[in-house]
């Protein structure tokens, strides 16, 4: 297990604890876990976004990488009054990649 995985696990463990502690003050705490997102990181890794999508699309039920705008829309929703009853959750935005076939 790499340090990034341990850090992610620690954060996901912290979310429900903080949500419980802060709920009486009407403060909501949620986590957003993006899957494969079309960003410039692919270029830095030596792969175009198109090549990454071609390589990974078959493992993602929606058949494509997500976009930064889609993640931003989720974060905006979580900060809006429409998500007023949502706290202590980890929302995975990954096109269904974590689903078993």
Residue pLDDT, tens place only, 43-90:
888 888 888 888 887 889 998 999 999 999 999 999 999 999 999 999
Q: How many domains does one find in the chain?
A: 1
> Rounded to an integer, what distance in angstroms lies between the CA atom of residue 83 and that of residue 77?
6
pLDDT tens by residue, 90-100: 999 999 998 86
Inside any domain, residue 68: yes
Within a domain: residue 49?
Answer: yes
Asked whether residue 36 is domain-assigned, the answer is yes
Per residue in 37-70, is it b (16+ CB within 10 Å) or e — as a string?
A: bbbeebeeeeeebeebbeebeeebeeeebbeeee
Which CATH number covers residue 87? 3.40.50.720
What is the token pair recorded at 47?
Answer: 């792969």
Domain that includes residue 55, residue range: 3-93
Evaluate whether residue 29 is within a structural domain.
yes
């Amino acid at each position: 297990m790499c340090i990034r995985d341990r850090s992610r696990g620690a954060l996901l463990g912290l979310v429900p604890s903080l949500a419980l502690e802060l709920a009486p003050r009407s403060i909501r705490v949620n986590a957003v876990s993006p899957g494969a997102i079309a960003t410039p990181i692919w270029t830095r890794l030596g792969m175009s976004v198109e090549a990454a999508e071609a390589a990974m699309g078959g493992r993602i039920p929606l058949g494509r990488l997500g976009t930064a705008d889609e993640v931003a829309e989720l974060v905006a929703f979580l900060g809006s009054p429409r998500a007023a009853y949502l706290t202590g959750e980890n929302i995975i935005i990954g096109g269904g990649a974590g689903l078993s076939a």
